[in-house]
């Protein structure tokens, strides 16, 4: 079977589509050359002319580099599907793809992409854009006749269900979290994201990571400088505890303050905090560990939404990597509507899941007064007064099933 790939040619200034045997697919390569050179695509438009005769014209539409990457990626997916389909059909081949009937193109969009692969609205729009732009170009240049590629009306509700299902997922696998950490702009941003994914921190709670020791009541608590020293003195120790004060956590309405909690910091994460302190942290008298590094606010404490903004910047980069096919195809995909809070939610899900396994408790049988429920509530900083955790903790039950589905290799419905 000849699988199709597209590779960027710096010399040709376009993507070259080729099969496994290095034979070139001429038409998609010409399309890539034309679009890359001009920065536009050509859309077929039918206009009403004189004497009720319709005329066809092609309107240019500018596209961005990101859109160009999407075009290449979706066309590559389509060509590989066509190669597989041709193994069972003597009427279809990759060599004659320009002349395949529009019925087969619509089968690909409606049956394969929407029904079989469960694509949501955003993904369907990308595939429609790629096929329409490509076949409009082939029609304009005389290589084929016009193709009418569209979504069947009966499947519009299916797309909505697919979109809702995908946006409902509030869990990122450890693999996807690791990809996010590796694609941050700085070590500080990596720590902001890891604070959510490995400590369960809300964005604003990063302001509560202090360098110096501090007193709460009559008790002294260690700051990060002391934790760094403790780590050096105890090379065998794998976990370190930090007291997150209630003044930095989320406060219930009409209350005097938030819920304090202890953070359990793994040695590898504490080592990264120390590396940041030694190598990247601006020189400053501020007691907050994480600081701003831009010229306008150099050396000042980070804002409450710093982690959320770091996630947004990193998400854009990872989404572009996904579109370009640079990430593993069998891994979880990041979604446009994911926010930084999903990292904290993923941390809570992992803790809930692990606690159920360790205590031999079925996930669906956990009650708000059970030990597992209360443990996770304390780790997340949820108010668990009177021996009962809030409904917020209950959301991790559904997310545990999503986690199971990911590792079973199936889509969660």
Is residue 118 assigned to a domain? yes
Hey, what are 80's tokens?
């590989």
Same-domain status, 89 and 183: no
Instruction: Say whether pLDDT at 14 is over 70.
Output: yes
- CA 367 centroid distance within chain: 31
Asked if residues 387 and 370 have their Cβ atoms less than 8 Å apart, the reply is: no
Judge contact between 177 and 346, C-beta under 8 A.
yes
Q: For residue 253, is pLDDT > 80? A: no
Confidence of residue 412 (pLDDT cuts 50, 70, 90): very low
pLDDT given for residue 282 in this prediction: 96
pLDDT for position 12:
76
Largest Cα span, the chain: 92
C-alpha–C-alpha distance, residues 110 and 128, integer Å: 10
pLDDT tier for residue 252 given thresholds of 50, 70 and 90: low
End-to-end CA distance of the chain: 33
- SS3 (DSSP) at 59: strand
Across the chain, mean pLDDT equals 88
- In a domain, residue 413? The reply is no
Q: Is residue 345 part of a domain?
A: yes
Look up tokens 């992992």; give the residue.
350
| 13 Ramachandran zone, left/alpha/beta (phi>0; psi -120 to 50) | left
Please state which of the ranges 122-131, 172-181, 353-362, 385-394 shows the lowest mean pLDDT: 385-394
- Asked if 120 contacts 134 with a C-beta cutoff of 8 angstroms, the reply is no
Write down which residue in 115, 141, 165 finishes a domain.
165
Which one is predicted more confidently, 127 or 398? Answer: 127
Q: 348 is written with which tokens?
A: 């809570």
**Domain check: are 180 and 151 in the same one?**
no
Let me know if residue 330 belongs to a domain: yes
The tally of domains found in the chain comes to 2
CA distance 78 to 1: 15
Average pLDDT over residues 92-112: 93
> Is the same domain home to 197 and 301?
yes
129 and 189 both lie in a single domain? no
Average pLDDT over residues 256-265: 83
Assign 254 a pLDDT band (cuts: 50, 70, 90).
Answer: very low
Alpha carbon distance 373, 394 (integer Å):
8
Q: Which residues contact 263 (CB under 8 A, 6 or more apart)?
A: 199, 200, 201, 241, 242, 243, 244
pLDDT band of residue 226 (cuts 50, 70, 90) is: very high
Domain end position, chosen among 140, 165, 190: 165
The pLDDT-based confidence of 250 (bands split at 50, 70, 90) is: confident
Confidence tier at 50 by pLDDT (50, 70, 90) = low
Confidence of residue 292 (pLDDT cuts 50, 70, 90): very high
Is residue 217 pLDDT above 50, yes or no?
Answer: yes
- In this prediction, residues 284-303 reach a mean pLDDT of 95
At residue 166 the predicted structure's pLDDT band, cuts being 50, 70 and 90, is low
pTM metric for this prediction: 0.63
Q: Do 161 and 179 belong to one domain? A: no
Show the tokens assigned to 367.
Answer: 């009650």
> Three-state SS for 54?
strand
* Residues 338 and 360 reside in one and the same domain: yes
- Residue 77's Cα: distance from chain center in Å? 20
pLDDT over 90 percentage in the chain: 57
At residue 398, does pLDDT exceed 80?
A: no
64: which residues sit within 8 A by CB, 6+ positions away? none
> What mean pLDDT is predicted for residues 353-374?
82
Q: Does one domain contain both 160 and 195?
A: no
Please indicate, yes or no, whether residues 150 and 11 belong to a single structural domain of this protein.
yes
Of these ranges, 276-285, 353-362, 371-380, the one predicted with the greatest mean pLDDT is: 276-285
Q: Which two tokens stand for residue 400?
A: 């545990």
Annotate 128-141 with DSSP letters as a single string: HHHHHHHHHHHHHT
Name the domain boundary from 109, 130, 165.
165
Residue 128 · residue 140 · CB < 8 Å: no
Is the pLDDT score of 2 beyond 90?
A: no
Q: Rounded to an integer, what distance in angstroms lies between the CA atom of residue 336 and that of residue 167?
A: 9
Residue 329 sits in the same domain as residue 210: yes
What's the chain's Rg over C-alpha atoms?
Answer: 27
Q: Is 9 exposed, middle or buried (0-12, 13-18, 19+ CB in 10 A)?
A: middle
Mean pLDDT in residue range 371-394: 71
Q: Which of 4-13, 203-212, 246-255: highest mean pLDDT? A: 203-212
Residue 67 clears pLDDT 80, i.e. is over it: yes
- Please tell me what DSSP assigns to residue 302: P
> What is the CATH classification number for the domain harbouring 360?
1.10.443.10
Say whether both 151 and 291 belong to one domain.
no
Q: Give the pLDDT mean for 136-159.
A: 94
Helices (H), 3-146: 26-38, 65-86, 102-107, 121-140
Q: Answer yes or no: is 301 within a domain.
A: yes
Is the pLDDT assigned to residue 168 strictly greater than 80? Answer: no
Whose tokens are 């997916």? That residue is 77
Domain range holding 214?
Answer: 174-408
Asked whether the beta carbons of 193 and 340 are under 8 A apart, the reply is yes
In a shared domain, residues 344 and 225: yes
User: Do 155 and 191 belong to one domain?
Assistant: no
């Amino acid at each position: 079977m000849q699988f199709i790939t597209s590779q960027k040619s710096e010399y040709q200034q376009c993507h070259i589509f080729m099969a496994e045997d290095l034979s070139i697919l001429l038409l998609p390569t010409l399309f890539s050359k034309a679009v890359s050179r001009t920065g536009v695509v050509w859309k077929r438009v039918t206009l009403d002319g004189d004497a009720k005769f319709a005329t066809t014209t092609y309107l240019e539409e500018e596209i961005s580099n990101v859109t160009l990457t999407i075009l290449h990626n979706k066309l590559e997916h389509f060509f590989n599907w066509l190669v597989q389909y041709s193994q069972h059909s003597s009427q279809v081949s990759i060599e004659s793809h320009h002349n395949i009937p529009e019925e087969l193109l619509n089968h690909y969009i409606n049956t394969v992409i929407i029904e079989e692969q469960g694509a949501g609205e955003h993904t369907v729009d990308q595939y429609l854009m790629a096929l329409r732009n490509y076949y409009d170009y082939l029609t304009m240049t005389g290589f084929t006749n016009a193709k009418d590629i569209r979504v069947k009306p009966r499947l519009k509700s299916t797309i909505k269900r697919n979109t809702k299902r995908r946006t409902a997922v509030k869990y990122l696998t450890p693999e996807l979290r690791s990809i996010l950490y590796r694609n941050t702009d700085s070590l500080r941003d990596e720590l902001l994201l890891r604070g959510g994914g490995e400590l369960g921190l809300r964005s604003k709670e990063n302001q509560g990571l202090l360098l110096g020791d501090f007193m709460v009541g009559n008790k002294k608590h260690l700051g990060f400088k002391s934790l760094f020293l403790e780590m050096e003195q105890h090379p065998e120790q794998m976990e370190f505890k930090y007291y997150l004060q209630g003044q930095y956590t989320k406060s219930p309405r009409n209350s005097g303050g938030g819920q304090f909690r202890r953070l359990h910091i793994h040695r590898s994460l504490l080592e990264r905090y120390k590396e940041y302190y030694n190598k990247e942290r601006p020189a400053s008298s501020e007691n907050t560990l994480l600081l701003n590094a831009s010229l306008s606010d150099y050396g000042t404490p980070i804002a409450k939404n710093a982690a959320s903004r770091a996630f947004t910047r990193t998400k854009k980069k990872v989404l572009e990597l996904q579109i370009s096919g640079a990430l593993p195809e069998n891994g979880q995909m990041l979604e446009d509507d994911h926010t930084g809070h999903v990292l904290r939610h993923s941390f809570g899900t992992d803790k809930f899941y692990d606690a159920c396994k360790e205590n031999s408790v079925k996930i669906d049988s956990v009650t708000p007064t059970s030990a597992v429920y209360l443990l996770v509530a304390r780790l997340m900083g949820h108010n668990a007064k009177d021996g009962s955790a809030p409904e917020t903790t209950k959301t991790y039950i559904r997310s545990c099933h999503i986690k199971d589905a990911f590792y079973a290799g199936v889509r969660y419905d």
